[in-house]
Chain A
Amino acid sequence: MKKYLTILLVALMATGCVNDDTDFSHLIDGGSSQPDQEVITPIDIALDFSALDEADDVVPTDETDETYNDYEENTAWSYTINVAYDGNEVTLSGNTSRVRYTVTDGHVVIQSTSNRVHYVLSGQSDNGSFKIYSENKFKLTLNGLNLTNPTGAAINNQGGKSLYLVLADGTENTLTDGPAYTDVEGEQMKGTLFSEGQVLVSGHGSLVINGNARNGLVSDDYFRFRPGCKVHVTCSTGHGIKANDGIIIDGGVFNIEVSGDGYKGIKCDSTMTINGGRTTILATGGVSITAATDIAPADTSSCAGIKCDYPLTINGGSLLIKATGEGGKGINNTGDITINGGSVQIVTTGIKGLTSPKAIKGDGVLAVNGGYLYSYSSNGSPIDANGGIAVAEGYTTWETKPQRVIISFDTE
């Protein structure tokens, strides 16, 4: 018996001690099967609601300036209509004879052919909205408004002209939608604040957007955000800010949180330019999968801080992005990305799954001509620019590691 036990013991000691993995030592780090990788702890990126010390912008006075009409100060607003919400009741006052309107509970619908009309919205309603059909540009001031529309957009501009959205100085305004929309045939309603025309945001107040059914802030034209405004978008069912024809951020404080699978903090189907302000985006959703059809294969889409289909240019301000979802991107751009100034800090911590996480993914060139770039991806590439990376002369730091790239033109 002892003999058998001894044989068994020896056999046991001899078995099970060797790893049966393929030897990739000739391909991986010159010999170690699992080399120690330098562990880089990324910077912490979190929403930042603190005040930003920024100068007001200069309003162009030359009518030939292509941005002249983006400034509400260049229009003499002749008529003012006050819209005061109070629960299920709404009171309209002022030059109401200039428009036709209906009020149903807390829902106001304006039909306007008048020019130079200024609407001032205030008060609170849990079952209200402001919808407008205007043949001309108009100014919409939010003067302490808290508006929730359970069945659609809180503010819905069906006209294609400019909407000058002014956040009255020092006011806090909140718009909430959903959870279910009741659509009108032939009309679009893509988010909590939806506009067929361009939206030009100014003022020194704050705006909180809660997206519970579709997107947060949507224009089928373009957005311009001016210094002084504070915008906080939270959306679990769509993109935070979405524009068809461009986004210009001249200043302001932006905090954008998107948590749905495949959604973007900012989704811009045209060019995007950041000239100032502080934009912080947290994208935490995973991968969305679109099922295959007869004419198209299945597709996947990961979350991203910014998804832009045309050139993205950063001339100033701060852009901070953190994407934590599977395959999440910081910036995902099909055009060129140019950084001429400001500070761009991106961290992605999502795992590689159906798609690969990348801090910056571009199909064009990433050109860094100034400013500061910090790009980190814990499980993917910090930069993946198909057109290459072009860094102008004069940089003070250009550090490339597997997880992190830092390029700086700071002289301090």
Chain B
Amino acid sequence: MNRLIIIALLATLLPLAAWADDDTGLTVGASVEKKFNKQWSMELEGEFRSRNDFRTADRVSLGLSGAYKPLRWLKLDAGYQLLIENNIEKITYNEPTIDAEGHEVISYNNWRPSYWGLRHRVFVSVTGSYKIGRVELSLRERYRYTYRPTKTTTRYDFDNQYWEDTQVKSKSQHILRSRFKVEWDIPKCKVDPWASVEVFNNRMLDKVRYSAGADYSLLKKHTFGVYYRYQRVYNDDEEDNAHYIGVTYKFKF
């Protein structure tokens, strides 16, 4: 039964990954959760993400968060994440010129290759949930602040034909994430399917993530998950529309 659900889920989702113009990537996450009591818990989480049709490492992150459940249906949590990101290349062009034959000529100005850099991220969120039989609906509102420190890297100046140091200036980003999630607890089945949609707002609509997956619990301590995610980007220069296959593992104690 469990195997059938997983295969069916993947079979349904694989055609989506074939959309030609969008990127595809893999996310692999592992976490450890310590429950102190019914209200308090802490979680240490690591994640790896790839891009460029699985071929290029995109990000590695490590996060620590704490959660408090004052009510059965209400959860408050906050945390910090250290992100090590492979920032995508940047190419700039000179103003177009007209050649002798009247054609518009566009030439390269600068090329800053991709580079690895740090980001610091903190978040606070509140999650409300509601059960209807075996189905649980939840809504999470998360405020996220990300800071990218100034970084010196190199770029190529095509006009002068040399490499030079360049500073990528520090940058802050404030995001409000709103996620609606549906989980189905199937009777006598260790696999719990779920689906969610999450909207990222940064004064205007930044991106939307549509996700569907399933979690498989083993001995209540181990949870393995697999999911598919489609990310539609509306207003973010650093990311493309992308399909992700995700694999997760969580250890609870």
- Co-assembled chains A and B: yes
Given A20-B114, A22-B91, A381-B160, also A352-B166 (CB < 8 A): yes
Q: CB-defined interface of B138-167 with A at 8 Å, one 1/0 digit per residue?
A: 000000000000001010111011111111
Does B28 have its Cβ within 8 Å of any Cβ on chain A?
yes
Partner of A8, one of B28, B58, B88, B163: B28
CB of B57 within 8 A of CB of A16, answer: yes
Partner of B48, one of A16, A28, A33, A37: A16
Q: CB-defined interface of B40-55 with A at 8 Å, one 1/0 digit per residue?
A: 0000000010111011
Contacts of A15 in B (CB 8 A): 25-26, 50, 54-55, 57
Partner of A34, one of B51, B113, B161: B113
Given A27-B158, A34-B113, A352-B164, also A20-B56 (CB < 8 A): yes
* Contacts of B79-107 to chain A: CB distance below 8 A: 88-89, 91
Given A14-B54, A402-B161, also A24-B111 (CB < 8 A): yes
Identity of the chain A residue whose Cβ is nearest the Cβ of B115 in the assembled complex:
A21
CB of B167 within 8 A of CB of A34, answer: no
Identity of the chain B residue whose Cβ is nearest the Cβ of A29 in the assembled complex:
B161
Contacts of A28 in B (CB 8 A): 156
* Contacts of A171-209 to chain B: CB distance below 8 A: none
Max chain B C-beta neighbours (<10 A), residue from A15, A17, A37: A15
Given A12-B28, A352-B166, A379-B164, also A20-B88 (CB < 8 A): yes
CB of B51 within 8 A of CB of A20, answer: yes
* Contacts of A109-155 to chain B: CB distance below 8 A: none
CB of B164 within 8 A of CB of A22, answer: no
Does A292 have its Cβ within 8 Å of any Cβ on chain B?
no
Identity of the chain A residue whose Cβ is nearest the Cβ of B114 in the assembled complex:
A21
Q: What CA separation (Å) do A212 and B166 show in the bound complex?
A: 32
CB of A24 within 8 A of CB of B57, answer: no
Identity of the chain A residue whose Cβ is nearest the Cβ of B226 in the assembled complex:
A4
- Total A-B Cβ pairs within 8 A: 75
What's the tally of chain B residues with a CB closer than 8 Å to chain A?
Answer: 34
Identity of the chain B residue whose Cβ is nearest the Cβ of A37 in the assembled complex:
B163
CB of A380 within 8 A of CB of B164, answer: yes
CB of B164 within 8 A of CB of A20, answer: no
Q: What CA separation (Å) do A191 and B99 show in the bound complex?
A: 50
Say what secondary structure dominates the interface of chain B: strand
Q: CB-defined interface of B15-28 with A at 8 Å, one 1/0 digit per residue?
A: 00000000001101
Contacts of A17 in B (CB 8 A): 55-57
CB of B154 within 8 A of CB of A8, answer: no
Does B247 have its Cβ within 8 Å of any Cβ on chain A?
yes
Does B108 have its Cβ within 8 Å of any Cβ on chain A?
yes
Contacts of B58 in A (CB 8 A): 16
CB of A379 within 8 A of CB of B52, answer: no
Q: What CA separation (Å) do A317 and B40 show in the bound complex?
A: 76
Given A27-B158, A351-B167, also A16-B113 (CB < 8 A): no
CB of A18 within 8 A of CB of B56, answer: yes
Q: What CA separation (Å) do A220 and B230 show in the bound complex?
A: 68
Contacts of A403 in B (CB 8 A): 162
CB of B108 within 8 A of CB of A34, answer: no
Max chain A C-beta neighbours (<10 A), residue from B58, B88, B164, B167: B164
CB of A33 within 8 A of CB of B54, answer: no
Contacts of B55 in A (CB 8 A): 15-18, 20
CB distance from B105 to the nearest CB of A (A): 15
* Contacts of B151-191 to chain A: CB distance below 8 A: 152, 154, 156-158, 160-167
Contacts of A11 in B (CB 8 A): 26, 54
* Contacts of A335-373 to chain B: CB distance below 8 A: 351-353
Does A19 have its Cβ within 8 Å of any Cβ on chain B?
yes
Q: What CA separation (Å) do A351 and B91 show in the bound complex?
A: 18
Q: What CA separation (Å) do A376 and B160 show in the bound complex?
A: 15
Partner of B247, one of A8, A351, A379: A8
CB of A379 within 8 A of CB of B165, answer: yes
Identity of the chain A residue whose Cβ is nearest the Cβ of B152 in the assembled complex:
A351
Q: CB-defined interface of A14-54 with B at 8 Å, one 1/0 digit per residue?
A: 11111111101001100001110100000000000000000
Q: What CA separation (Å) do A4 and B247 show in the bound complex?
A: 11
CB distance from B228 to the nearest CB of A (A): 14
Identity of the chain A residue whose Cβ is nearest the Cβ of B51 in the assembled complex:
A20
CB distance from A109 to the nearest CB of B (A): 50
Q: What CA separation (Å) do A18 and B51 show in the bound complex?
A: 10
CB distance from A143 to the nearest CB of B (A): 49
Q: What CA separation (Å) do A403 and B113 show in the bound complex?
A: 21
Identity of the chain B residue whose Cβ is nearest the Cβ of A35 in the assembled complex:
B163
CB of A21 within 8 A of CB of B113, answer: yes
Given A11-B26, A402-B160, also A19-B114 (CB < 8 A): yes
Contacts of A378 in B (CB 8 A): 165
CB of A16 within 8 A of CB of B50, answer: yes
Q: What CA separation (Å) do A351 and B164 show in the bound complex?
A: 8
Contacts of A352 in B (CB 8 A): 157, 164, 166
Q: What CA separation (Å) do A352 and B160 show in the bound complex?
A: 12
Chain B residues within CB distance 8 Å of chain A: 25-26, 28, 48, 50-52, 54-58, 88-89, 91, 108, 111, 113-114, 152, 154, 156-158, 160-167, 224, 247
Besides A20-B55, A22-B111, 17 new A-B residue pairs in contact (Cβ under 8 A), listed by A number: A8-B28, A11-B26, A11-B54, A14-B54, A15-B57, A17-B57, A18-B52, A20-B51, A20-B52, A21-B113, A24-B111, A27-B108, A28-B156, A35-B163, A351-B164, A379-B165, A402-B160
Q: Sorted from nearest, which 5 A-B pairs have the closest CB atoms?
A: A16-B57, A18-B55, A20-B52, A20-B56, A15-B54
Q: What are 19 contact pairs spanning A and B, CB under 8 A?
A: A8-B247, A12-B48, A14-B54, A15-B25, A15-B50, A15-B55, A15-B57, A17-B56, A17-B57, A19-B114, A21-B89, A21-B113, A34-B154, A37-B162, A351-B167, A352-B166, A353-B167, A381-B160, A402-B161
